[in-house]
Structure 1
Amino acid sequence: MLGDAFMLLHTDLPREGPGSDDCTREALRRLRPFLPGSPVVLDLGCGPGRQALVLARELGTPITAVDAHELFLKRLEADAAARGLGHLVRTRCADFGALEDAPGGVDLVWSEGAIYILGWGEGLRRWHPLLRDGGLLAATEATWLTDSPPAEVADFWREAYPRMGTIASNGAAARAAGFEVLDTFVLPASAWWDEYYRPLEARMGSLRERARQDVDLATAIAETEREISLYARYGTSYGYVFYLLRAHGQGRR
């Protein structure tokens, strides 16, 4: 199955999408003035959990990292233990779109490169009830950086992620979901290349011989190569944006 091939392709990558420890720290720096001393934190769709490790070290408070893939969580647990952060990183295997946490009990919801699974507006709608009044949400989302992207890249993302919005439209959706937009910033190109695309290229290289006998894997590699090529040529027209939001009204279901 193609989904299995993509999982194989993404095994043991540092990250499952664009990002960097520096970007995580910068987002947290901008939110610090709005955080209580020992915040309750959920990292939703944590993947291998690089951002959870940064949050745990910077905040010194327990981080609950949620993902539907047990292998990612096991890797995060091992990495946290190796960094002396095992006591601060708690993992939970669950569907982050259907959490049963009590309403209004979370100070900070964090999500890097995962909210697209639900869709931007729908993800915000589902996660808002988790937050206390004035609680914070930090999420990265694939975003158009121009209203007129080149046709080739527009066609690709129209198929891959048809709900991708602009900073303005995503801000409007956030306000409609009960959030104030505190800040936004675009992730630099290095956040795409250093810990995502270049490791992914190396992973593809290691699997090419296997792909000769695996049609699904060959398809996954070809699609990934196309995505990387498009970013190399058109990366100024779209990117990942960190959205830093504050919830209005106590969370409710």
Structure 2
Amino acid sequence: MLGDAFLLLHTDLPREGPGSDECTREALRRLRPLLPPSPRVLDLGCGPGRQTLVLAKELGTPIIAVDSHEPFLKRLEAEAAAQGLGHLVRTRRADFAALEDAPGSVDLIWSEGAIYVLGWGAGLRRWHPVLREGGLLAASEATWLSDSPPSEAADFWREAYPRMGTIASNSATAREAGFEVLDTFVLPAPAWWDEYYHPLEARMASLRERARGDADLATAIAETEREIELYTRYGTSYGYVFYLLRARGQGGR
């Protein structure tokens, strides 16, 4: 199955999407004055958890890392233990579309490159109820940076992520979902290359021989190569944007 091939291709990458420790710290720096001293934090769709570890180090409070893929959680647990952060990282295997946390019980929801699974608006509406009044949400999301992107880029993302919006449209959706938009910033190009595309290129190189006898893996590699080539050519027209939001109301709307 093609899904299995993509999981194989993405095994042992430092990140499952664009991002960097510096971007995580910058988003947290902008929100930190609004957090209580010991916030209750959920990291939704944590993947292998690079950002989880940064949050644990910076906040010094337990981070609840949620993902449905057990190998990611096991890897995060091992890395947290190796860094002396095991007491601050609590993993939870769960579907982040159906959180069981009590309404109004969370101070900060963090999610890097994962909300697209639900869709921007649907994800915000599902997650809003667990935030306390004034609770914060930081999420990075694939976003159009141009109102008139090149046709090749538009065609690719229309198929890959047809719900991708602009900063303006995503901000409007966030307000409709019960949030105040505090700030946004675009992830710089190194956040795509250094910890995502370059490691992904090395992973593809290591699997090329295997792909000769695996049609699904060959397809996964070809599609990934196309994505990387597209970003190389048109990366100024789209990118990942960090949205920093504050919930209005308590236990929902």
**TM-score, reference length from structure 1:** 0.99
Q: Distance in 1 between matches of 2:61 and 2:116?
A: 27
Aligned to 1:154: 154
| 1:122 equivalenced with 2:122 (yes/no) | yes
Q: Identity across aligned pairs (percent)?
A: 86
SS in 2 for 1:64: strand
CA drift of 1:234 comes to 0.3
Q: For residues 124-143 of structure 1, what are the structure 2 equivalents within 5 Å?
A: 124-143=124-143
Aligned to 2:45: 45
| 1:195 equivalenced with 2:195 (yes/no) | yes
Aligned to 1:106: 106
Q: Distance in 2 between matches of 1:5 and 1:251?
A: 40
**Deviation digits for residues 132-190 of structure 1 (CA, Å, limit 9, x no counterpart):** 00000000000000000000010000000000000000000000000000000000000
Q: Distance in 2 between matches of 1:21 and 1:78?
A: 19
Q: Distance in 2 between matches of 1:99 and 1:111?
A: 14
Structure 1 segments of 4 or more deviating over 4 A?
A: none
Gaps of at least 5 residues in structure 1 are none
Q: For residues 22-101 of structure 1, what are the structure 2 equivalents within 5 Å?
A: 22-101=22-101
SS in 2 for 1:87: helix
Q: State the Cα RMSD in Å.
A: 0.7
CA drift of 1:89 comes to 0.1
SS in 1 for 2:242: strand
| 1:204 equivalenced with 2:204 (yes/no) | yes
Q: Distance in 1 between matches of 2:185 and 2:245?
A: 12
CA drift of 1:240 comes to 0.1
Q: State the AA in 2 paired with 1:232.
A: T
Q: Distance in 2 between matches of 1:150 and 1:251?
A: 42
SS in 2 for 1:5: helix
Aligned to 2:231: 231
CA drift of 1:251 comes to 1.7
Q: State the AA in 1 paired with 2:209.
A: E
Q: Distance in 2 between matches of 1:183 and 1:110?
A: 15
| 1:175 equivalenced with 2:142 (yes/no) | no
CA drift of 1:252 comes to 3.3
SS in 1 for 2:54: helix
Q: Distance in 2 between matches of 1:151 and 1:39?
A: 44
**Deviation digits for residues 76-108 of structure 1 (CA, Å, limit 9, x no counterpart):** 000000000000000000000111111000000
Q: State the AA in 2 paired with 1:22.
A: E
**Deviation digits for residues 48-89 of structure 1 (CA, Å, limit 9, x no counterpart):** 000000000000000000000000000000000000000000
SS in 1 for 2:107: strand
Alignment coverage as a number of residue pairs: 253
Gaps of at least 5 residues in structure 2 are none
**Deviation digits for residues 178-224 of structure 1 (CA, Å, limit 9, x no counterpart):** 00000000000000000000000000000000000000000000000
